[in-house]
Amino acid sequence: MYPIVSITVFLPLLGALLVLSMRKAPPQAVHAIGIITSGFTLLGALIMWFRGVNETGFAQLEQIDWMPSIGAAYRVGVDGISLPLVLLTALLFFVTFIYSSKVRKQSHAFVALMLLLETASIGAFTALDAILFYVFFEVSLVSMYFMIAEWGHEDRQRAALMFFIYTFLGSLPLLLAILGLYLGSDPHTFDMRVWISNPPLDGMAATLALVAMLITFAVKTPVFPFHTWLPAAHVQAPAAGSVILAGVMLKFGTYGLIRFALQMTPDAFREAGLVILGFGVVAALYGAFAALAQTDLKRLVAYTSINHMGYIIVGVAIAALASDPAIRAIALDGSVLQMISHGLVTGALFLLVGMLQDRAHTREMDQFGGLLKVVPVLGWSFVLAAFASLGLPGLAHFPAEFQIFLATLQVEPFAIIVIIGIVITAGLYLRAIAQIFLGEVGDKWTTTTMADLSYRELLALGPLLAFTIVLGVAPAWVLDVIHKTTSALQF
Amino acid sequence: MERDLALLIPEISILVTVVLALIAEMLRMPRTALIITVAGLFLATILTLSLLGVDTTIFGGTFRIDMLSVWAKLILLPASILSLLLARAELAGSDREGTVYVLICLVSLASILMAGVGDSMLLVLGILLSGLASFALVAYPRNDMATEAAMKFFVFASVATSVMIFGLSYWFGGTGSTLLSELARLDTSPVIAVIGLMAVIIGLGYKASLVPFHFWAPDAYEGAPLSIAAYLSVVPKIGAILAFAQVVRDIPMVTAWPLIIAVIAAITMTYGYLAALVQKNVVRLLAYSSVAQAGYFMLGVVAVGASTLALQSLIVFSAAYAAMNLGAFAITMQVGRSLDDFHGVGRTKPLLGVAMVVFLLSLTGIPPLAGFVGKFLLFGAAIDAGFLWLTVVAILNSVLSLAVYLRIMVPMYQQQSKNEINEVISAPLIRLVWIIALLFTVGIGLSAQLLLAQLS
C-alpha cells in the first residue's frame, strides 16, 4: 500500500520545488508543470476516493512521529467529511491551473505559490494532528496573501494586507483553543482523533475553547460581522485566487466548525447551539441582502458566498441541537454537501466573472447588456451557474439546501426564515442575468468584437459545470460517503 | 576543585581564546585574531557537547551546570561566531579591528555566565563584564552618533546595575549568603524578598531590554555598527533572560513574582510593537521588535517551576530567536538601514527576499518556522502555569507584530521605477551568515523534535 494521502498532500509541494529550481524555463513549460502536477494530485485524490472511508472513525491513516516529546505527530487520514473536500480541492486546483495558464507575470512564482497553496489546502483537510492542521492553515494564509498582493487588481496591496491581518488575527484564537485542548488531554497529545473520541475539556474550559474556535472559524467562513475582509479580498484577487479563496479556503471555516468546534467540544456546542444558529441565519440573510445592493458582479458573487456559507452554519447548529440521530445526520449531510456544491458553483462563477473581466475590463453590471447574443457559450454557462447558485432543483445546491431546511423545520422551525435568502438570491441573479446577458446589446460591444470561450476556458469551466449537474441530479454517490461518517457520529 | 574546573572547560577555553586573540591584535594581526576567536568559540561549543545531560553546581553552588546553562552555551556560542563573521564583513580594515573580536568573546563569556548563575555576586559580575565590553563595542566607530549612543548606554547601565547591587544587598542581609539557593529562607520576610526582586528586575531588565528599562536599546543599536547591534540584540539579551529563569527558580512565592513579571511581559510586548509600528529606520524597528520579543521570552520565565514546558520553551525560543534575529539583521546590513532601501529588493534579489520574508514571518510566529515552535511552546507553558490572560495578550500582540513586519515585507515586493534601483552591497560573509540563519530558522521549525528530545 502506497501512502496515497501523503503523496496527494505533498505532490504539489514537489512540483513547486521543481518549478523554483528551473528558473530559466519558459512560462509555457512552467504552467505545464503546474497542470500536470495538479492533474496527478487529482488522480491521487481519486484513488483516495475509491479507497473510501470507514463506518466509524478515520480511514487511510498515515502516521510518522514528529515531536513525540510533546505528543505531536504527522498524522493524516480522511473520513466522510474530509474526503469529498479533498476531491473538491484537487479538482478546483486542476481547473484553476488550466484557466490561469495564460498568466505571464512572474509565472514561476505564480505556479509555485499555487502549488504550495494546494499542498496547504489538502493538508488542512487531511490533517489529524492539531499542530499539523494549524501549520497548513497558516501556510495557506501566507500563500494567499502573496497571491493577492502580487497578481491582484487595482487596490491589491491594501486588500491583501487586510486579508492577511484579519485572518491572522482570526486564526490565533484557534491556537489558544488547541493549547487548551492539549493541556486538558491526558496524556498530553495533539492527536485530533483522541480529542474527538474523548473530548478533553468540559465546563467553563470547554466553553472558552469553543468561543475561541468559533471566532477563528467565523472569520474564515466568514460570518457577519466578521466578513468585511471577504469582499475586499475577492474583488482584488486574481480570478484564480478568487476561485481558490471561495471554493477551498472558505471551507476551512466550516470544516473546522464541524471537525473542531462540534466534535471536540460537543456539549458546549450544544449549549451554544441557538446562538450559533442565530449567527448562521443572520449570515445567510445578510449575505443575500448585501449581494442585492451590489453593482460590481464580483462583489455580488462574493456576497452570495456569505449567504451560502450561512446555510452551512445553520445546518451544523441544527445538527448539534437535534436529539434524533437521523435528523442530525440529515443536517450534517446537507452541510457537507453544501460545501461541495458551493465550491463547484462559486468556483465556476468566479471563473466566469474572470473571463468576462478579461474581455470587457470591467465588472460593473450596467456596463454590459445583451451579451447572450455576443458570447452565447459564456452566457449560457453563466446562466447555468447562476441558476445552480440560487438553488434550482436539479442543480448542485438544491439537494444540500433541501436537507438543511428539512432538518431545520423539524428541530427549530422558526429558523426556516432563512429560506428568504433563497428568494432574494433568485431575484438578484435574475436581475444580473437580465442586465448582463439579455436586452439590447450595449453600444460598446457592437463595435468591438468579443470572443466566445476559448478551448482553455472551456476545459477549465466544463468539469465544474458537469459536476454541478451531476451533483444536482444524482447526489447519492457523494452523499453515501458523507452519510457513512455523519450517521455514525457520537456526541 | 579539579572536578569543578573540568566542568568549566568551555568557559576556560573562551578565556584562553580571548587572551590569544588579544595578543594577535597587539601584533596587528586582526585576521589571525578573527581566526583564533572563531576557532576558540567553535572549540568551546564542541567541548560543551560533553556536558549535555549534566545537572550539577560547581564552586559551592555559585555556578550551575544544568540544562539551561549548557544549552545557553550551545546556542550563544554559535550565534557569537555568526556575529564575528558579520563584524568582519562590516569592520574589516578599520583601526583596532581585532579588539572587536576580543570584546565580542568577552560579552559572550559574560552572557553564558549569566545563564548559569547560582549566586548573586556572579550575577553582578556577569552584568558588569558584559556591560563594560558592550559600551566599548557600541562606541567603536568613534563618531558622534556612536559616542552618544555609548554614553547613553553607559549611564543607563551604570544606574541600573548600581540599583541592582543595592537591592541584592538586602537579599544578602536577609539570608546571610549570596547563594540564590538560600533565597527560600526569605519565605517569612516578604518585604526583603520583594526589594531584592525589584532590584534584579531592574538590573536584568535593562540587560534584556524589558520595558521600562529598554530606553538605551534603540539608540545603542542605531549608533553602533550594525553587526554589533545584531550581536547585542541576541547574545547578551538571551543570557540575561536565562539568568532571569535561574534567579526566579529560587525566589519564594510570597513575593508573587510570576504576576509581577507577567505584567512587565505584557507591557514589554505591547509597547515594543507599538513603538516599532512608527519607526522609519529598519534598525530602530528591529530594535523595538527585539524589545517586544523579550516580552515573549518572559512567558517562559513566568512559568518556571509551574510548568514542565517552561525551560524547554525558553531554550527552543532562544535558538529560534538567535537564528531569525541574526538573519534579519544580516540582511539589513546588506540592504540598508532605511525602509526605502527595501523597496523592490524582493524582485531584484529573489533569494535574499525570500530569506527576509522567512525571518520576518518566523519573528511573527507563523508556522512551520522556528519562531512558531518557540512561541507555541511559550504559550503552552504560560497557559499551563495559569497565565491564560498573558497568553491572550501575547497572541494579540502577534497580530500587531504582523503589521510591524509587513512594513518591511510589503515594500520589498513593490514595483520600483528604473532610476531608483537600490544597490544591494554584495558581501559573501554576510550572505553566508544569513543562509546559515535561514537553514536554522526553517530547520528548527521542521525538526523541533531533535531539540525537544534532548530537553525532556
Q: What is the mean pLDDT of residues A320-343?
A: 91
| Nearest C-alpha in B relative to A150 | B413
**Beta strand A59-67 pairing with B63-65:** unpaired
Tell me, what's the pLDDT at B416?
67
B residues 297..356 contacting A (CB < 8 A)? 309
| Nearest C-alpha in A relative to B391 | A176
Q: What is the mean pLDDT of residues A113-142?
A: 91
Tell me, what's the pLDDT at B422?
59
Q: How confident is the model at residue B423 (pLDDT cuts 50, 70, 90)?
A: low
Tell me, what's the pLDDT at A347?
93
B388 neighbourhood in chain A, CB within 8 Å = 176
CA distance B404 to B363: 10
A204 neighbourhood in chain B, CB within 8 Å = none
| Nearest C-alpha in B relative to A158 | B410
- Closest to B406 (Cα-Cα) out of B339, B327, B347: B339
Query: Cβ contacts of residue B373 below 8 Å, gap of 6+?
Result: B316, B320, B367, B444, B445, B448
pLDDT at A179 over 90: no
pLDDT at B8 over 80: yes
SS3 A293: coil
pLDDT at A236 over 90: no
Does B403 reach chain A within 8 Å, measured CB to CB? yes
Tell me, what's the pLDDT at B149?
92
Tell me, what's the pLDDT at A172?
87
Does B291 reach chain A within 8 Å, measured CB to CB? no
Four-residue CA torsion sign, A427, A429, A430, A435: positive
Tell me, what's the pLDDT at B400?
87
pLDDT at B373 over 80: yes
Angle between helix B282-302 and B370-384 (nearest 10): 40
Does B269 reach chain A within 8 Å, measured CB to CB? no
Tell me, what's the pLDDT at A255?
93
pLDDT at B327 over 90: yes
Tell me, what's the pLDDT at A317?
93
Tell me, what's the pLDDT at B421?
56
Are A68 and B453 an interchain contact pair (Cβ–Cβ within 8 Å)?
yes
Query: Cβ contacts of residue B6 below 8 Å, gap of 6+?
Result: none
pLDDT tens digits along B12-44: 999 999 999 999 999 989 999 999 999 999 999
Q: Which candidate in B360, B379, B395, B404 is best for mutational testing of the A interface (most A CBs within 10 A)?
A: B395
Q: What is the mean pLDDT of residues A296-325?
A: 91
pLDDT at B87 over 90: yes
- Considering only residues B237 and A232, tell me which one the structure prediction assigns the higher pLDDT: B237
pLDDT tens digits along B391-413: 989 988 988 898 899 889 888 87
B368 neighbourhood in chain A, CB within 8 Å = 135, 139
In angstroms, what CA-CA distances link A112 with A23, A103, A115, A239, A483? Answer: 11, 13, 5, 17, 36
Tell me, what's the pLDDT at A25?
82
Q: How confident is the model at residue B293 (pLDDT cuts 50, 70, 90)?
A: very high
- Closest to A122 (Cα-Cα) out of A6, A273, A250, A265: A6
CA distance B284 to B218: 5
Q: What is the mean pLDDT of residues A217-224?
A: 88
pLDDT at A227 over 80: yes
pLDDT tens digits along A56-102: 778 888 888 877 777 888 889 898 899 999 999 999 999 999 998 88
Which cell numbers hold the place of A166?
A: 484579519
Residue B452 has its nearest CB partner, among A69, A131, A164, at A69
Which cell numbers hold the place of B337?
A: 538601514
A141 neighbourhood in chain B, CB within 8 Å = 366
CA distance B372 to A172: 12
Are A70 and B366 an interchain contact pair (Cβ–Cβ within 8 Å)?
no
| Nearest C-alpha in B relative to A212 | B392
Tell me, what's the pLDDT at A447?
66
pLDDT at A470 over 70: yes
Q: What is the mean pLDDT of residues B439-451?
A: 86
Q: How confident is the model at residue B46 (pLDDT cuts 50, 70, 90)?
A: very high
Share of chain A above pLDDT 90, in %: 38
Question: Worst-scoring range by mean pLDDT, A441-455, A462-476, B257-271?
Answer: A441-455
Tell me, what's the pLDDT at A239?
87
Tell me, what's the pLDDT at A63?
84
A133 neighbourhood in chain B, CB within 8 Å = none
Question: Worst-scoring range by mean pLDDT, A132-136, A153-157, A286-290?
Answer: A153-157
Tell me, what's the pLDDT at B146?
92
Are A65 and B377 an interchain contact pair (Cβ–Cβ within 8 Å)?
no
DSSP state letter for A22: -
Residue B399 has its nearest CB partner, among A168, A182, A183, at A168
Tell me, what's the pLDDT at A310?
92
B342 near B421, Cβ under 8 Å? no
Residue B399 has its nearest CB partner, among A67, A161, A169, at A169
A68 neighbourhood in chain B, CB within 8 Å = 449, 453
DSSP state letter for A297: H
Q: What is the mean pLDDT of residues A437-466?
A: 81
Give the alpha-carbon dihedral of B206, B210, B211, B217, to 10 degrees: 60
A134 neighbourhood in chain B, CB within 8 Å = 367
Whether ipTM tops 0.95, in short, is no
Query: Cβ contacts of residue A445 below 8 Å, gap of 6+?
Result: A360, A368, A369, A370, A371, A374
Tell me, what's the pLDDT at B328?
95
Count of CB pairs separated by less than 8 Å, A with B:
74
Q: Which candidate in B372, B401, B412 is best for mutational testing of the A interface (most A CBs within 10 A)?
A: B372
Tell me, what's the pLDDT at B108?
95
Residue B398 has its nearest CB partner, among A68, A146, A172, at A172
Tell me, what's the pLDDT at B307?
86
Share of chain B above pLDDT 70, in %: 98
Q: How confident is the model at residue B95 (pLDDT cuts 50, 70, 90)?
A: confident
A357 near A301, Cβ under 8 Å? no
